């Protein structure tokens, strides 16, 4: 198959657009589905949940949104653990996220954390990862990128955690659009229309 000049120019334009899009990334998004089966010691809880995390690397903030339902026991804590498997130390504030609903079996949570504040972190996590909130943020981001961080919800029935989920990167819409354009361009190139 021979690719004409138009195909080469189109491919170069896509590569340039992709690289400039990635260079300007400021918000990194991660999500997880929460379940009892995903706990370090799996349990038969019928509960489910969804967590969305958005870290702004310029403003040094982290938006945490969680919804959950069907817990067998009332909530006692929720936080993010990082950075080893199958269990890891708590990275975020102790004993629980600021304002997380306590004593409920279903609910939702939304909070914006300022990652420059010591109160957003477990002091042990900060100490173990360089001693500053900036180094703790870098360690958490590395753990998130390596899929070594998870969010879990603890309850009275399951003090070690009733539901959890490993946080995975969510592609940004611009990257998905570029991927779609690239696939379309490659399809046209194969058909000899570009």
What is the arithmetic mean of pLDDT over 17-41?
77
Cis peptide bond prior to 30, omega within 30° of 0:
no
Q: What is the mean pLDDT of residues 30-49?
A: 96
Query: 3-state DSSP call for residue 133?
Result: helix
Domain residue spans of the chain? 1-25+172-194, 26-171
Residue 62 has pLDDT above 70, yes or no: yes
Provide the mean pLDDT of the chain: 84
In this structure, what are the phi and psi dihedrals at residue 54, rounded to the nearest 5 degrees? Answer: -130, 115
| pLDDT of 23 | 46
Residue at token pair 């592609």: 171
pLDDT confidence of residue 45: 97
Contacts of 192 by beta carbon, 8 Å cutoff, 6+ apart:
none
CATH among 3.30.310, 1.10.1740, 1.10.3470, 2.60.40 for 26-171: 2.60.40
Pairing of strands 168-170, 107-114: unpaired
Poorest-pLDDT segment among 23-32, 89-98, 126-135, 154-163: 23-32
- The count of other CB atoms within 10 Å of the CB of residue 46 is 11
* Per-residue confidence (pLDDT) for residue 78, from 0 to 100: 98
| Per-residue model confidence as pLDDT tens digits over 82-108 | 997 777 899 999 999 999 999 999 999
Three-class secondary structure of residue 94 per DSSP: coil
Report the b/e string of 95-104 with b at 16+ CB within 10 A.
Answer: ebbeebbeee
Q: Where is pLDDT greater, at 65 or 40?
A: 65
| Averaged pLDDT for residues 12-19 | 40
pLDDT at 48: 97
Q: Residue 16 pLDDT > 70, yes or no?
A: no
Residue 191 pLDDT: 60
Query: What's the mean pLDDT in 155-181?
Result: 80
Beta-bridge partner residues of 154: 77
Across the range 5-12, mean pLDDT stands at: 40
Assess whether pLDDT exceeds 70 at residue 132: yes
Span 72-89, pLDDT tens digits: 999 999 999 999 777 789
Whether residue 125 contacts residue 113, with contact meaning beta carbons closer than 8 Å, is answered with: no
pLDDT at 194 over 90: no
pTM as predicted: 0.76
Tokens matching residue 132: 């500053």
pLDDT at 84: 77
């Amino acid at each position: 198959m021979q690719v004409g000049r138009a195909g080469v120019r189109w491919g170069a334009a896509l590569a340039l657009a992709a690289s400039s899009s990635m260079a300007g990334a400021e918000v990194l998004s991660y999500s997880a589905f929460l379940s009892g089966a995903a706990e370090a010691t799996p349990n038969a809880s019928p509960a489910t949940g969804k967590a969305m995390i958005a870290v702004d690397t310029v403003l040094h903030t982290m938006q945490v949104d969680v919804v959950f339902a069907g817990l067998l026991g009332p909530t006692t804590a929720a936080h993010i653990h990082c950075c080893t498997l199958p269990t890891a130390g708590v990275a975020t504030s102790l004993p629980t996220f600021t304002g997380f609903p306590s004593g409920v079996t279903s609910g939702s949570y939304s909070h914006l954390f300022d990652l420059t504040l010591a109160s957003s972190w477990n002091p042990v996590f900060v100490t173990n990862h360089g001693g500053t909130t900036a180094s703790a943020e870098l360690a958490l981001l590395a753990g998130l990128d390596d899929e070594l961080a998870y969010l879990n919800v603890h309850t009275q029935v399951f003090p070690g955690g009733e539901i959890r989920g490993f946080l995975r990167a969510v592609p940004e819409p611009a990257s998905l659009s570029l991927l779609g354009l690239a696939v379309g361009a490659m399809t046209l190139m194969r058909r000899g229309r570009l």
